[in-house]
Amino acid sequence: MKDAVKKKFMELYGGAEPDVFFAPGRVNLIGEHTDYNGGHVFPCALTIGTYAAARRNEDGVLRFYSMNFEKLGVIEVDAAALVYDKKDNWSNYPKGVIDVLRKHGYAVEGGMDFVYSGNIPNSSGLSSSASIEVLTAFIVKTLYGLELNFIEISKLCQEAENKFIGVNCGIMDQFAIAMGRKNHAIFLDTATLEYEYAPIDLGDCKIVIACSNKKRGLGDSKYNERRSECESALASLQTVLNIRALGELTEEEFEANRAVIADPVKERRAKHAVYENRRTVRAVEALKAGDLKLFGELMNASHVSLRDDYEVTGIELDTLVETSWEQEGVIGSRMTGAGFGGCTVSIVKEDKIDAFIRNVGETYKNKIGYAADFYVVEIGNGPVVL
């Protein structure tokens, strides 16, 4: 992949050889839709991700090219006038990052040429957009010698997605990608950004991701709606409780006060946020204690809550997960990411993976009408210069 992006860069732009960079995708093992509710998440970076070749130029133009969207060709933008433009398609993500860096006073003057290529499935829920954002920030930091650490990068990339792209996401995706560590997941308190690395020892099991191939875009999905419903439920609870976020509540505190939320739909949304947060804390404790069985049970319970209380799964993800639960050697399975399509994550015994992929794939295709894709993934590091 490194050689391919460099070769394409030289074909398009010529001149001096570019530097080549990589940033991973991420999968969240448990803790879904908790990050914007002040709760805990437990993601890890993957060894699949986004590659880019990049170089500064002197003509004041930003040029973006993606080997994943070759039909769009080179997208050229005046470096001095960065605004969101629908016709610029995927390049709004790197544009947004550069815009936010400037607004925070970083001296990012002049133009740059980029070629990107990713091996994360697009719209899969493995954070191809956050991978591009973090990668772009890392490239700019490197090319301009900016004093910028990875936590700052994750905050700025979240801001770019919130303010430039218009998706009201939490910080999990950008943080997991920027701070990734091989063979570790990140136990992150999104309210405080306190975090710890937890070693992932799955013994004779592996992480298997199933991509539903149902395309979805967060901005035009119900993601922002779910966030708004939680904020409304929180406002109701704040009339009787001194809290800043749903993630501060235990299940018992929620049950004692849930009646104050007049709307039953918002009550269910809040229930998911509270219970999922506590599930995530317990899941990490289980993993530390070597109790993979309990970890899997909590993954399964997470999916049920996302299906019934948060209503973000849909027939594609439910088919993948519910079929996975029936397979031999499956420790746990759940949807991962924002939902409305995207991916599932399962922990499967290594000697059962082939049968798992065959059986789940066959059932899914028969029921949904098109195929799912499966990836046996490894946990990798954060951004690097290659």
CA angle (368, 173, 238) in 5-degree steps: 100
Of the candidates 295, 296, 305, which has an alpha carbon nearest to the alpha carbon of residue 274? Answer: 305
- CA dihedral in degrees (165, 224, 120, 137; nearest 10)? 40
| CB of 67 closer than 8 Å to CB of 117 | yes
99 is catalytic: no
Catalytic residue among 173, 189, 204, 263: 173
Phi/psi for 93 (5° steps) reads -65, -55
Tokens of 283: 């899941």
Q: Annotated active-site positions, please? A: 173
